[in-house]
Structures are given as structure tokens and as C-alpha cells.
Amino acid sequence: MKQVRPYPRVIVTKKAARSLKSGHPWVFEGEVIRTEPSPANDDAVKNGCVVDVFEENGTWQGAGLISLESKIRVRIVSRNANDRFDNAFWSRRVQWAWDHRKVAMGGRALPGCEPDTNCCRIIFSEADGLPGLIVDRYEDVLVSQVGTVGMERLKGAIYPLIIQTLRADGQEIRGIYERNDSPARAKDGLGLDKGWYDFSSSDLALDTPDSARVTVRENGIAFDLDIENSQKTGFFLDQKYNRRAVRDIAGGRRVLDCFCHVGPFGLNAAAGGAEFVRCVDVSQAAIDLAGENARLNKLDSTMGFTCANVLEYLPELAKDRARLREEGGPFDLIVLDPPAFTKSRGTVNHASKGYREINQAAMRLLPRGGYLATCSCSHFMTRDLLAKAIAEAAHNANVQLKQVQELQQAPDHPILWGVPETHYLDFFIFQVI
């Protein structure tokens, strides 16, 4: 590179350079040979700052944000040597992200319902060129998660840009609630906290909202969300269109919604005309919210709620027909939306066993002709590994599966090719024959 740039340098191995050339944006701790101060002003590397990444032969590979305490040492944010990392740069990234949601989701709302962009993920970390930042929209409130020291340093600049971008498109936002309470932040040396972001020092003049409870609508269904205490940012937006797929086949069926959280699959099934829906979750707080959401939508007359461990509950129903009837069965549509059974490559085999067992238990409860909607939300549990576990479950349950649909995460959680970590949700609907 002939131009002299103002950023410190990170010199990386040939292995890292090959990975970067393939499109992956990460440099790992063990791939860093050395760091060097900026050749322009002698600035040393500081935690969270922008650095230039060079292969040892002098080839520039991109610029990224460095995390001195993380195993992912650098996350690339640009491969264009002309970029300057000012407000205009980050504003473009935010605008591109919002434009993507409008294109991918803006015309897909159900007839008579709210726009699908009213509740969606508007920033998805590396997939939107903002590594370490998640921002979800719930009507007029945003919920953010910051996972890297680079984004922690930049959020004061990026948050106002997000609100300004939405305002310019006619979208009013009352505030941003930070859910920086994930233990993963410790990998970057960051502490844990949550609460409303203080905009008092900005030009936006936003008052701090007085409640972390928000009512949102998705697929025409209202949800009362507790964005302070619920899992993740308060809701699982990535299943929006998968819930519609369940809704489309639920009419006249008796539905068992397992790992229901606050009830979105079950409520969609009920709204789709299900004869009865039983929602099950191990969390009493989630079950209570699911019940409130059913009443909010006047669907409670066809729904029931059980606090139980699904891994124990399904085998119990298979053994005890009286209990099955008490719970509203027999069921002819079962939804399995479990939490990620694996968060590392080393536990994939154990996770495969878990997915095989819950799917096998569900298949044994279903009659011939019944339907199973099942998924995995871990990128370590790849599509092929999940399919293998489901196929083994069908073999063990002595049933055959006819595929109805194969789906993925909603497009507000875009999959960036060359970065397998951005593809984490696979969803199948089968008929048991």
C-alpha cells in the first residue's frame, strides 16, 4: 500500500490472510504476528480502535476494530482503502442496513396488518458491517446489544445515526434500551449492564421512557413484551415468517407448542384457526406472559398453558394417555422451537443427541398424517447435522417424513455468504406418514 494511513497496524499470518480473502471478517488471536504503531503519527494500538491489517508480505487485507482481550482479535469493517471511519461512514452502514429491511420485508405484511418492518432486527452485527452490534426494533423502541469493545466505543456515535436514519424515513423512535447483560461481553473485557441509553448530551432531545414494557404487533398479533427481563432483546424476531408457515397449516388442528417462550407460535396457530393450542415452557414467567398475550388477542378460549420441562413432558404424554387428554391431546401438529443445544463445536455430538430425542418423542406423539415443525438455532448445528438428527429420530420412531417446507431465519437476520456464523437458524415442517 503506497498511501500512508493514520491507523496502527496488525500483521497477520498467511492463514489469516487466506481467510480474509475468502470473505470472512475475523482475525484470531493466534493469527496475529505483531502489532505496529501508525506510520503516520506513531499512534499505538488501543483497545477497540481501528487498525489496518497486513499480511506479513505487506499486502493490505482491510481495516477493522481490534479487541485486545478477545480471541477474535480483529473484526474487519472495510476492505476499501479509501474509507475513512467518520460519521459519514457509519451513517452509510446504518442506511444500507435499513434499506435492506425495507426491500426484504417492506412488501410482505399480511393483508390489513402492520408493516413487517415495525418489528424487525435492523442491525445484525457482521452481516451489516457493524460487528458486535445487534439492534432490534419493537415499534417505537429499539433494543440493542453491544458485544465488542470497538462497538462500545462507537455506540455514542452510531445510536444517534440509527435514530436519525429512521426519522428521515418517517419512523419515530422513543428510545434505545441496552441489554448489555450477556456473559459473552466478558470475552471482550466488558462489564454487564442494562437500561435506557441516555441521549441528554445529544441533539436528539429524547426523554427516557418510563417503562420497559412495550406492546408490539407481529403478523397482526399483539404481544406485551418485557424488554428488560425477557430472553435476548425481548422476543425472537427471526422466526417471523416461520410462524406464518405454522399458522398456514394450523386450521382445525390440535397444536402442541413446545418451548413456547411468550407464545408466538401458539398464538399464530390459534389465529390461523387451530381447534386448540397447548403452550409449554420451563419458565413460569414466560408462560405467564404467553397467557397474557392470549388474553390480549382474545385467543385464550382455545389455548392452554403448562409450565414444564419439555424434555420430560413429551415422554410423559407418550406414556400416559389420560395425561395427554388432560393437556388437550391427541395433537396433530407439534412445534419444537428449542433453545440452542450447543454453543460450541465441541458439544455438537451431545446436541445432536438432544435434537434426535426431542424430535423422536414428538413423532411418537403424532398420528399418521400429523405435522411436525422443528428447528435449531445454533450455527454449530448445521442444516445437514440437524437433518441427520431428524432422520435418525424418524427411523427410531418407525415413521417416514414427507417434507412440507424448509425455511431459515427471516431476512432481517441476513446470511452473509462466506461467514457461516451468520447462518444459525434452520426450520423444517414435515408430515408424518
Write out pLDDT tens, residues 54-96. 999 999 999 999 999 999 999 999 999 999 999 999 999 999 9
Domain count, the chain: 3
**Residues 245 and 369 occupy one common structural domain:** yes
Share of the chain above pLDDT 90, in %: 88
Verify that 166 and 61 share a domain, yes or no: no
pLDDT of residue 350: 81
116, 264: one domain: no
Answer yes or no: is 60 within a domain: yes
pLDDT at 171 over 80: yes
Residue 178 has pLDDT above 70, yes or no: yes
Please tell me whether residues 322 and 196 are part of one structural domain: no
The pLDDT score that the predictor gives to residue 351 is: 86
Q: Tell me the CA end-to-end span of the chain in Å, nearest whole number.
A: 62
Does the pTM of the predicted model rise above 0.85?
Answer: yes
pLDDT number for residue 2: 66
**Alpha carbon distance 202, 198 (integer Å):** 9
Q: Compute the average pLDDT of residues 298-304.
A: 97
Which pLDDT belongs to residue 114?
A: 92
pLDDT value of residue 168: 96
Burial class (CB in 10 A: 0-12, 13-18, 19+), 39: middle
pLDDT digits (tens, 9 = 90+) for 208-247: 898 999 999 999 999 998 899 877 787 899 999 999 999 9
Backbone angles phi, psi at 72, to 5 degrees: -85, 95
Asked if the structure places residue 1 within a domain, the reply is: no
Q: What is the CATH number of the domain that holds 156?
A: 3.30.750.80
For the chain, what percent of residues have pLDDT higher than 70? Answer: 100
- The CATH number of residue 386's host domain is 3.40.50.150
- Name the domain boundary from 78, 107, 133: 78
Active-site position among 119, 120, 279, 377: 377
Q: 267 lies in a domain?
A: yes
Query: Rounded to whole angstroms, how far apart are CA atoms 350 and 340?
Result: 12
List the grid coordinates of 178. 441496552
> Reading across the β-sheet that carries 60-66, which strands appear in turn?
26-28, 72-78, 60-66, 50-55, 9-12, 32-36
Instruction: Report yes or no on 220 lying in a domain.
Output: no
- Which residue is it, cell 398464538? 267
Residue where a domain terminates, one of 58, 78, 98: 78
Four-point Cα dihedral 30, 31, 36, 40, nearest 10: -140
pLDDT digits (tens, 9 = 90+) for 10-24: 999 999 999 999 999
Considering the domain architecture, whether residues 97 and 71 belong to the same structural domain is answered as no
Q: How many CB atoms lie within 10 A of CB 402?
A: 11
Omega before 330 within 30 of 0, i.e. cis: yes
377 is catalytic: yes
Q: Are residues 340 and 392 in the same domain?
A: yes
> So what's the pLDDT on residue 315?
94
Q: Reply yes or no on whether the pLDDT at 51 is more than 70.
A: yes
Report if residue 351 sits inside a domain: yes
Domain-located, residue 3: no
Q: Are residues 74 and 91 in the same domain?
A: no
For residue 99, the enclosing domain spans: 87-213
φ, ψ for residue 87 (rounded to 5)? -60, -35
Same domain, 45 and 145: no
- Give the separation between CA 390 and CA 362, rounded to whole angstroms: 11
Shared-domain flag, residues 419 and 306: yes
Same domain membership, residue 115 and residue 183: yes
Task: Indicate the residue among 31, 50, 78 that finishes a domain.
Answer: 78
- Residue type at 274? A
Question: Both 133 and 156 in a single domain?
Answer: yes
> Which residues share a beta bridge with 9?
36, 52
What does the pLDDT read at residue 340? 80
Q: Flag whether 244 is in a domain.
A: yes
Question: Average pLDDT in the 152-172 region?
Answer: 96
What pLDDT shows up at residue 383? 94
Average pLDDT of the chain? 94
Confidence class of residue 202 from pLDDT cuts 50, 70 and 90? confident
The CA distance from 418 to 433, in Å, is 37
Task: Give the per-residue pLDDT at 251.
Answer: 98
Residue 169 to residue 7: CA distance in whole angstroms = 34
Beta strands 72-78 and 60-66 are: antiparallel
pLDDT one-digit tens code per residue, 327-380: 999 999 999 999 887 777 778 888 899 999 999 999 999 999 999 999 999 888
Closest by CA position to 146, among listed 105, 104, 102, 184: 184
Q: What average pLDDT score do residues 263-270 get?
A: 97
Give the residue-averaged pLDDT of 49-57.
97
Q: Is residue 302 part of a domain?
A: yes
Phi, psi of 420 (to 5 degrees): -60, -20
Spatial CA neighbour of 6 closest among 61, 91, 63: 63
Residues 133 and 269 in one domain: no
pLDDT score for 1: 61
Q: How confident is residue 157, by pLDDT bands cut at 50, 70 and 90?
A: very high
**Which CATH number goes with the domain that contains 74?**
2.30.130.10
